[in-house]
Amino acid sequence: MATFYTGVLIKKCMDMNLGIKSYPDIGHHAFGEKGRFAVSITMYTELYLVATGFLILEGDNLDNIFPNTVVELAGLSVGGKQFFVILIGLVIMPSVWLDNLNLLSYVSASGVFASVIIICSIFWTATVDGTGFHHSGTLLNWDGIPTSVSLYAFCYCAHPVFPTLYNSIRKKPQFSNVLLMCFVLSTFGYASMAIFGYLMFGSDVQSQITLNLPINKLSSKVAIFTTLVNPIAKYALMVTPIKNALKDLLPGTYQNRITNILISSALAISTVMVALTIPFFGYLMSLVGAILSVTASILLPCLCYLKISGTYKKCCFETVVIIGIISTGLVIGIFGTYTSVLKIIEHW
């Protein structure tokens, strides 16, 4: 509810100034160059770590399908998750060299259908293939609340792309209704996966439910391989804004094809190195949610709207609601970050 409301606040900011075309523009209109810098850094860091999370997800699932895989390279043994993370990094490398990502954008749009396929496959695994809904566990684990809420924030962190969507939509008055439908459908999907995971595997459910599925079942294989395809298609879309921002820092004479390949390759290699260093998908995404998603999807929209609209100057119901959302975001950010860092250190 909070992130839906902050999405509406972004729309209101854009309605107040027709010159706003992107999320950094909102930050600039509210707080000048410092605002643009803060929004940009938050956006690019979030995109970078989400791309890194994709690599970790791929490595975990491939290692689950092909366990005990070891490859000898120049006298060094590379196996398990590490090998698959490196392999996926090499596979997706050519995609980040592309300047025109129109094809990948269409493939990425298939993510909606992929999500439906995954949910249906897991439901089929439980009801038809014999896994069943018979497990139980601790229904409410208070120690896990900070991590969970951080993951919730990560699940609703699309706010940086809302300005682009709003500019491209033909019937702009319908944007809030479209936003509401997206949030309702996403929540239904997330809740379905949470309920299935708990009823199927109880407290033993892992950060990715695909790691719990019996790999000898066809429905499980469909779910796992559908999960694997999505990140490969979306990786380039995630890192391209970062690549373009880095290219813009160079003089015009260096902005050529070779430079594009070098920057893209270095970016991809760096995400592989981070994925190898922090191979904990759930806790990394929780950390991203606590620090970056909360900032980009809760704090910045509220602060920018208060400044642009001047609402902060008067005490009204809207101001009270926004201040309440900001306070909630700060609590999630502080406790979520502390818990996620602690869990990463604990499992290192």
Q: What DSSP state is assigned to residue 78? A: E
Average pLDDT over residues 53-60: 90
- Is it the case that residue 71 has pLDDT exceeding 60? yes
| Of 51-55, 92-96, 98-102, 252-256, the least confident | 98-102
Query: What is the predicted pLDDT for the residue at 181?
Result: 93
Average pLDDT over residues 42-55: 89
> DSSP H helical segments within the chain, as ranges?
2-16, 23-65, 80-96, 102-109, 111-127, 145-155, 162-168, 175-201, 218-248, 257-277, 281-288, 294, 300-309, 317-347
Query: What is the predicted pLDDT for the residue at 298?
Result: 94
The whole-angstrom separation of Cα 149 and Cα 32 is: 31
3-state secondary structure of 138: coil
Query: What is the predicted pLDDT for the residue at 235?
Result: 85
Angle between helical axes of 257-277 and 218-248 (0-180°, round to 10)? 130
Query: What is the predicted pLDDT for the residue at 295?
Result: 94
User: For the segment 108-161, what is each residue's pLDDT rounded down to a tens digit?
Assistant: 667 778 888 999 999 999 998 888 888 777 778 888 888 888 988 888 988 888
Position 100 confidence tier, pLDDT thresholds 50, 70, 90: low
Is the separation of the CB atoms in 2 and 325 below 8 Å? yes
Average pLDDT over residues 16-45: 91
Query: What is the predicted pLDDT for the residue at 14?
Result: 92
User: For the segment 289-332, what is each residue's pLDDT rounded down to a tens digit?
Assistant: 999 999 999 999 999 999 999 888 777 889 999 999 999 999 99
Strands 70-73 and 76-79: antiparallel
What fold is seen in the domain 2-347?
Amino acid/polyamine transporter I (1.20.1740)
User: For the segment 276-286, what is each residue's pLDDT rounded down to a tens digit?
Assistant: 988 788 888 88
The whole-angstrom separation of Cα 180 and Cα 164 is: 17
Beta-ladder partners of 78? 71
3-state secondary structure of 158: coil
Angle between helical axes of 317-347 and 281-288 (0-180°, round to 10)? 150
Query: What is the predicted pLDDT for the residue at 108?
Result: 62
Query: What is the predicted pLDDT for the residue at 101?
Result: 57
Higher pLDDT, 44 or 237: 44
**Residue with the two structure tokens 């902050």:** 6
User: For the segment 222-234, what is each residue's pLDDT rounded down to a tens digit?
Assistant: 988 888 887 877 7
Position 184 confidence tier, pLDDT thresholds 50, 70, 90: very high
Query: What is the predicted pLDDT for the residue at 68?
Result: 81
The whole-angstrom separation of Cα 210 and Cα 59 is: 12
- Is it the case that residue 334 has pLDDT exceeding 70? yes
Q: Is the pTM higher than 0.95?
A: no
Query: What is the predicted pLDDT for the residue at 106?
Result: 65
In the chain, domain spans: 2-347
Query: What is the predicted pLDDT for the residue at 103?
Result: 61
**What average pLDDT does the structure give for the chain?**
87
Query: What is the predicted pLDDT for the residue at 21?
Result: 85
Position 207 confidence tier, pLDDT thresholds 50, 70, 90: confident
- Residue 246 tokens read as 């880095």
Query: What is the predicted pLDDT for the residue at 79?
Result: 76
Closest CA to 322 of 337, 338, 336, 309: 309
Query: What is the predicted pLDDT for the residue at 308?
Result: 92
- Is it the case that residue 237 has pLDDT exceeding 90? no
Average pLDDT over residues 174-198: 91
Terminus-to-terminus CA distance in the chain, angstroms? Answer: 34
